[in-house]
A and B are shown apart, each in its own frame.
Chain A
Amino acid sequence: MLIVLLVVLSTGPLYWGNFWLGVANLIGITIIAATGLNILTGYCGQLSIGHAGFIAVGAYTSAILTNRFELPFLVGLICAGLIAGFVGMLFGMPSLRVKGFYLAISTIAAQFIIIWIINQWADVTGGYNGIVAPIASIGGLQLKSQSSQYFLILIIMVMVIFFAKNLARTRIGRAFVAIRDNDLAAEVMGINLFRYKLLAFFIGCFLAGIAGSLLAHWIGKVSPEHFSMTESILYVGIIIIGGLGSTTGPIFGVIFIRMLQQGISFLSPVLESTFALPAGFTTGIGPMVFGLIIILFLILEPRGISHRWQLFKASYRLWPFSY
C-alpha cells in the first residue's frame, strides 16, 4: 500500500493541474516543518509556540546565502537547517530549568525577538520589504516549474518522514519519550537531560529550517509576514489535530488543515456574495473555524486523527470478527 501511495505521489504532476501542485508543494513543506515540531513537542514534550520564527530563520538564511553570496541552493538548504537548529538550541536553553507554561512563553518570546531582528536588520534581511530568493538549481538543473519543485519537496519530505519514523525507535527517540513522560525519572535513569533536550530542539528546528529554505525558494520572495505568531499557533494546532507523538500525525494534520484552508478560501467569498454577509466574513471565518476545531479536537479526540486511523485499520483488519 505504501508503494502504491509512493507511485501515485511521484506520478502526481501528470494528472494534477498547476494549482493543485502548488497546494501539494505547500502541504509537503508544511509536513516537513510539522514533523520537526512533532519531534520536539510530541516526542520530547517541549511545547514550542515559536516554530514559525525558526522557519523564518531557515528561510532567511537560505535566501541571503543564495541571493547575496550567490552560493548554490544545496549549500543554502543545509546551512538553513543548521543555523535554524543552532538558534533553536539557543532559545531552547531555558528548557533545562523550566517546562510547561514557562517554556511556552519563552518560545513566544523567541518568536517575537526573531521577527523583530528580521524586521529591523534591513541591510541584510531587506526589512519589511523582504528579500528575493532566487530560483533553486541543483547542479545545472533549474527548478523553475511547480512540478520540478514538487519532486524536490517530495524527495526531502519522504526522507524526513523516514528519518522521523526511525528516530522514534532509536536510543535517542526512546530517551525523548522518557523525558516527555517524566523528565526527573528520565534523569535518574541516566539520560543526560541537557544533551537530549537541546538535541530535540536542534532536530526540531533543523527541520523547520529546511522547510523554511524550501518555502523561500518556492515562493521566490520572503518577507516577515509569512512567519507571524498566528503561523506558530497553526503548527501547534496541526500536530494536535493530527495526533501528538506519532509519525503519521503531522501528515494527517497538515493535509486536514491545508485542505480546510483551501476550502475556506474558496467558499467564503462565494458565501459572502450570495448571502450578503458582513464584510469581515472572509477574514474572520478562517481563524474562527480553525480555533473551534482545535478546541473540539482537544475535548473530543485528544489523540488526534492518527489515533482514529489506527482504530479504523484495526477494525478493518479484524472484520468481521472484531473480538
Chain B
Amino acid sequence: MTELLQFTVTGLTVGMVYSLIALGFVLVWKSSGVANLSLGQLVLLFAWFTYGMLVQAGLPLWLGFVLVIIFAIIIGWIIERFILRPLIAQPILSLIAVTLGLAFFIEGAVNFIWPRSVAALPRLFPREPINIGSAVVSQEYLWAAGISLLLFGLLTLFFKYHKTGIAMRATADDQMAVQACGIPVTRIFSRSWMFACVVAAVGGVLMSSIGGITHSLVHTGLKSFSVVILGGLDSFLGAIIAGPIIGLAENIGGGYLTPLTWPGIREVIPFIIIIIVMLIKPFGLFGEERIERI
C-alpha cells in the first residue's frame, strides 16, 4: 500500500511537469501547425543554461531565473524568425525534418559549451522530505507540481482574457480570418514559440531540480510527445489531463512490472502507450478528428 501511494504521488507530480512541457508543444502546433520535435533538446539546453547562470556565473537565484526566461524568449524568437518563417506553407515533412535538424544543432551546441555530461543545480527547494499518509515524498516533487499548476492557471487566464492570448486562439482557429482582421499572424507564431521555449525552460529547471542535469532530460521531452498523443495534439485540456496519466502509468507500471519483465521498462512505457493509442484512438482523448477531403 505504501508503495502504491509512493508511486502515485511521484507519478502525479512528475506528470504535471510533462504536461507543462507538452503545453509548449500544443501551443506551437495549434497556432502554426509545426510539430516541434526538438522539445527535449530545448529542455536540455535551458537546464544547462540555468546551470551556467547559477553555478558557473554565480548569480543570485532571482537574477538567474530572470535571465533564463529572457534567454528562452530570445531563443524562441530566433527559431521562429530564422528557421520556421522561411518554411511557412511547406509540406509537413519538411517542417518535422527541420525541427530534427534543430534538435541536432542544439544537442551539439550543448556538448560544445558544456562538455560535462552530468551536473546538479544548487538546491532550490527545502531539503526535508514530507510524509503524505505513509508515503515519503521529497519536497522537489511537490514544488514542481505546485509551480506547474500555477502556470496552468496563469496560462488559462492569459488565453481567456488577454488580448494576445485571444489572438493566439483565433489564429489556431482560422489563420485567414485572423489575417483579415488585421492581426499579424507571423507575430503570433513568434509569440507562441517564445511561450513554448519559456515553458520548456521552466520544465527543464523543475526536472533538473528533481533528478539533476543529465542527458535523460531529452527523454523528458520525448515523453511529452506521448502526453500530447494521448491527450490529442490540439487540446490544452488534453495535455493537462494526459500528463499525470502518463506519469502514473510510468511510475506505477514501472514499479510493478519491473520484477515481472526487464529493468528499464519505466522508460519504455510511454512509448508503448503511444503505439496503443495510435492503433485504437489516433486522435487522442480530446483531439479534434480531422475529416479529409480530396
Contact = CB atoms under 8 A, between A and B. Distances in A.
Interface string B17-29: 0000000000001
B294 interface: yes
A113 B268 contact: yes
B109 interface: yes
A299 B279 contact: no
A108 B279 contact: no
A288 B90 CA distance: 24
A54 B206 CA distance: 35
B278 A47 contact: no
A281 B111 CA distance: 8
A295 B98 contact: yes
A119 interface: yes
Interface in B198-239: 222, 225-226, 229, 233
B108 A236 contact: no
A67 to B, nearest CB: 22
B113 A280 contact: yes
Given A119-B264, A294-B97, A102 B112 contact: no
B12 interface: no
B229 A105 contact: yes
B62 interface: no
Interface in A180-207: 182, 184-185, 188
Nearest to A109: B271
Contacts of B96: 47, 100-101, 104
Contacts of B268: 112-113, 116
B83 A299 contact: yes
Contact of A184 (B87, B104, B261, B292): B292
A237 B104 contact: yes
A49 B92 CA distance: 14
Nearest to A115: B268
Nearest to B270: A109
B188 interface: no
Contact of B103 (A93, A283, A285, A291): A291
B274 A185 contact: no
Interface in B242-294: 261-265, 267-268, 271-272, 274-275, 278-279, 282, 292-294
Contacts of A290: 101, 104-105, 108
B115 A291 contact: no
A91 B115 CA distance: 36
Given A97-B279, A184-B292, A104 B37 contact: yes
Given A102-B229, A233-B103, A284-B109, A45 B264 contact: no
B112 A280 contact: yes
Interface in A63-103: 91, 93-94, 97-98, 100-102
A116 B100 contact: no
* Main SS at interface, chain B: helix
A110 B107 CA distance: 22
A100 B92 CA distance: 7
B114 interface: yes
Nearest to A234: B104
A287 interface: yes
A290 B264 CA distance: 31
Contacts of A295: 83, 98, 101-102, 105
Nearest to B85: A299
B126 interface: no
Nearest to B111: A284
A102 B282 CA distance: 8
A291 B110 contact: no
Nearest to A233: B100
A230 B265 CA distance: 21
Contacts of A98: 278, 282
Given A47-B93, A285-B108, 19 more contacts: A45-B93, A100-B35, A100-B93, A102-B233, A102-B278, A113-B271, A116-B264, A119-B264, A185-B294, A233-B103, A233-B104, A279-B115, A287-B105, A291-B106, A292-B105, A294-B98, A294-B100, A299-B86, A302-B94
Interface of B: 29, 35, 37, 83, 86-87, 90, 92-94, 96-98, 100-115, 222, 225-226, 229, 233, 261-265, 267-268, 271-272, 274-275, 278-279, 282, 292-294
